Chain A
Amino acid sequence: QVQLVQSGAEVKKPGASMKVSCKASGYTFTTFYIHWVRQAPGQGLEWMGIINPNSGSTIYAQKFQGRVTMTRDTSTSTVYMELSGLRSEDTAVYYCARAPFDSGAGWFDPWGQGTLITVSS
């Protein structure tokens, strides 16, 4: 079955960088987009950006421009999301989610299990 499995929880210091992985299985990796969405504790969902695993092209939310980098490794069917200059407000669960090409990268299905990143000194 289609699965997105993310890396484990981490604790980071303010100013540090984090890198979360999202390994896809059960489908052809290069035929679906991958989005990244985060959720701060007790809050709603915030879209961060998208990567096309076939071309490597990306679109980032303006809020994260300059701090976020999304990459992929087609040999391992894995997408990575790196966020630099961490601050306490970046404490959140980070999700990857798949989107079909023919939906214009529209709806997200399925989602990874989430990765909790805690930023604390």
Chain B
Amino acid sequence: EIVMTQSPATLSVSPGERATLSCRASQSVSSNLAWYHQKPGQAPRLLIYGASTRATGIPARFSGSGSGTEFTLTISSLQSEDFAVYYCQQYNNWPRTFGQGTKVEIK
């Protein structure tokens, strides 16, 4: 199965600052990569699919890039509601697999 590795495990950022999260696949997943965030006690929510397409209703401060094995999620100016755990997920191969998550916390 494809192993998804996210870094860093925890990212401490001040509100208004930029956050950059990384996701690496153990083999190429083309652009078949999605990003989600999850707040405590809630279900995950889709942010990005196709590596770079924002889901409906997702603000423009979220952007995704990359293809193959290296991907990045950038949050241009962190808002209070963005502090959460972020997961990447590949859908190029079965089984579908997720990264272990990056927690974005308030600095």
Contact = CB atoms under 8 A, between A and B. Distances in A.
A45 B32 contact: no
A26 B106 CA distance: 36
B61 interface: no
A95 interface: yes
A19 to B, nearest CB: 20
A105 B44 contact: no
Which DSSP category, helix, strand, loop or mixed, fits chain A's interface? loop
Interface residues of B, number: 20
Interface residue tally on A, bucketed by range:
20 to 34
Interface of B: 32, 34, 36, 43-46, 49, 55, 87, 89, 91, 94-101
Given A104-B91, A106-B91, 15 more contacts: A35-B96, A44-B87, A45-B101, A46-B98, A62-B95, A103-B91, A106-B34, A106-B49, A107-B34, A108-B34, A108-B89, A109-B45, A110-B45, A112-B43, A114-B43
